Amino acid sequence: MTAMTMIEAIRDAHVIAMERDDNVVVFGQDVGYFGGVFRCTHGLQERFGDHRCFDSPISEAGIVGAAVGMAAYGLRPCVEIQFADYMYPAYDQIVSEAARLRHRSAGDFTAPLVIRMPTGGGIFGGQTHSQSPEALFTHVAGLKTVVVSNPYDAKGLLIAAIEDDDPVIFLEPKRVYNGPFDGHHERPIVPWSKHPLGDVPEGHYSIEIGRARVHREGNDLTVLAYGTLVHVAQAAAEEQGIDAEIIDLRTLVPLDVDAIVASVEKTGRCLVVHEATLTSGYGAELSAIVQERCLFHLEAPTLRVCGWDTPYPHAHEWSYFPGPDRVGRAMLKLMAT
């Protein structure tokens, strides 16, 4: 075990995957010589050479389109989109190509590739460095969508994603790169070295895509969360003294429905939280599934605490971000119903 930040865990996952399989290639804007604006690929070019890790032109469509072609050849590209907010130019290649290639060719060609992107706000990035577009991927048949919340999961899930034979969207909430951020932006950053999930095994291990993790056991209510909001929910529960069961979904598609149903049937109350805008966010799917499968166990309507239906505002990001107060108030409201 070594204490790692999530950045170090992601870098380590790259190294291990590249060492085990020559077909793994890594590229994207500033990822080669420089090592990525968040340093997640730092040292890979030096270590593996410029035919394994290299910089790309500023063309997200080109990065993903080329990756699809490379994957069809037999490689396993793991590419970085510098910010999730900039994935839109690549959206056609992701939705119409990577997601559909296996199906439309009946398995003749496949697209085993990973598209990594930093998501979420909290760094004063404004509307184009703060987005959480997961729901734009979960609606697309053929994509697996992973969102990580800590270094241990990040390494195990990234290795699993690179080894997966299907295209995987790998979302990295940038606010938890360096510590388990709980939404208290006014407080000093707690480093991962002080958190059990910052303990990362050396060498190869992988975490099954499609399995949720019970982050905190409890009986009062169930919180369905992923990414940064896992830590926010924990802070809210502790501050409100509510015995919440917090489920870190980790994978949105395929979804671990059993873990959700088991918990909601136990608690009878459910809160869904995410940072993305509310309307048509992935929380809507979770809320729909909960009432479809657990309606007669529900003692209260499932609530959603999410980003507002506006662009992510630079100066007001802490009013936009669903922090511990908002999440806590929703917990109290749920318990009062």
Partner 1 sequence: MTTQGDESVAKLQLRIPEPARGQRPPDRVRYISKAGEMQKPALDEKVERIALMRKQLVRVLDDDGQAVGEWVPDISVEEKQRGLRNMMLTRAFDARLLQAHRQGKISFYMQSLGEEAIACGQQRALRPGDMHFPTYRQQGLLISAEYPLVDMMNQVMSNEFDPLHGRQLPVMYSSKSHGFFSISGNLATQYIQAVGWAMASALRRGTEIASAWIGEGATAESDFHAALVFASTYQAPVILNIVNNHWAISTPEDFARGASATFADRGYGFSIPALRVDGNDYLAVFAASQWAAERARANLGPTLIEWITLRVGAHSTSDDPSVYRPPREAEEFPLGDPVQRLRQHLEFIDEWDADRHVALQTEVDAQVVAAFAEADSHGSVKTGDVGSAHTMFDDVFADVPRHLREQRDAMGEQGGQR
Using the rule CB under 6 A, give the single segment among 82-90, 130-138, 143-151, 256-264 that binds ligand TPP. Answer: 82-90
The number of residues in the chain equals: 337
Tell me whether residue 95 or residue 278 sits nearer to ligand TPP (CB atom).
95
Beta strands in the chain (DSSP E): 2-3, 24-28, 53-55, 76-80, 114-119, 144-147, 168-173, 199-200, 213-216, 221-225, 244-248, 251-253, 270-277, 303-307
- Do residues 303 and 334 touch, judged by C-beta distance below 8 A? yes
- Residue 82 contacts ligand TPP per CB under 6 A: yes
The piece of 19-27, 69-77, 81-89, 310-318 that touches ligand TPP (CB under 6 A) is 81-89
Interface residue with ligand TPP, options 7, 18, 27, 29 (CB under 6 A): 29
Site size toward a copy of itself, by CB under 8 A = 44
List % helix, strand, coil for the chain (3-state, nearest 5).
Answer: 40, 20, 40
91 part of the interface to partner 1, by CB under 8 A: no
Instruction: Answer positive or negative: Cα dihedral of 220, 221, 223, 229.
Output: negative
From the CB of 31, what's the least distance to ligand TPP, in Å? Answer: 11
Binding site partner of 319, from ligand TPP, partner 1, a copy of itself, none, Cβ cut-off 5-8 A by kind: partner 1
Closest CB to ligand TPP among residues 88, 205:
88
Beta bridge partner(s), residue 67:
none
What residues from 39 to 68 belong to the interface with ligand TPP (CB under 6 A)? 58
Q: With binding defined as CB under 8 A, does residue 188 bind partner 1? A: no
Cβ proximity to ligand TPP, 95 vs 298, nearer residue: 95
* Catalytic residue selected from 14, 103, 129, 297: 129
Residues 6 or more apart from 184 whose CB is under 8 A from it?
235, 323, 324
Name the binder of 135 from a copy of itself, ligand TPP, partner 1, none, CB < 5-8 A by kind. a copy of itself
Query: What six digits make up the tokens of 229?
Result: 């909001």
Residue 105 lies near a copy of itself (rule: CB under 8 A): no
Q: CA-CA distance, 31 to 37, in Å (whole number)?
A: 7
Task: Extract the tokens encoding 111.
Answer: 């697209």
By CB under 8 A, is residue 110 in contact with a copy of itself? no
Report the nearest approach of a copy of itself to the CB of residue 83 (Å).
Answer: 12
Binding-site member from 72, 214, 284, 298 for partner 1 (CB under 8 A): 72
From the list a copy of itself, partner 1, ligand TPP, none, partner contacted by residue 316 (C-beta under 5 to 8 A by kind): partner 1
Three-class SS state of 35: coil
Task: Reply yes or no on whether 185 is catalytic.
Answer: no
Task: Return d(Cα 83, Cα 69) in angstroms, integer.
Answer: 22
Dihedral of the alpha carbons of 236, 240, 243, 248, in degrees to the nearest 10: -10
In the complex, least distance from residue 154 CB atom to a copy of itself, rounded to whole angstroms: 24
If one asks whether residue 61 binds partner 1 (CB under 8 A), the answer comes out as: yes
Beta carbons of 35 and 42 less than 8 angstroms apart: yes
Interaction site with ligand TPP (CB under 6 A):
29, 58, 82, 86, 89
- The residues that are catalytic are 129
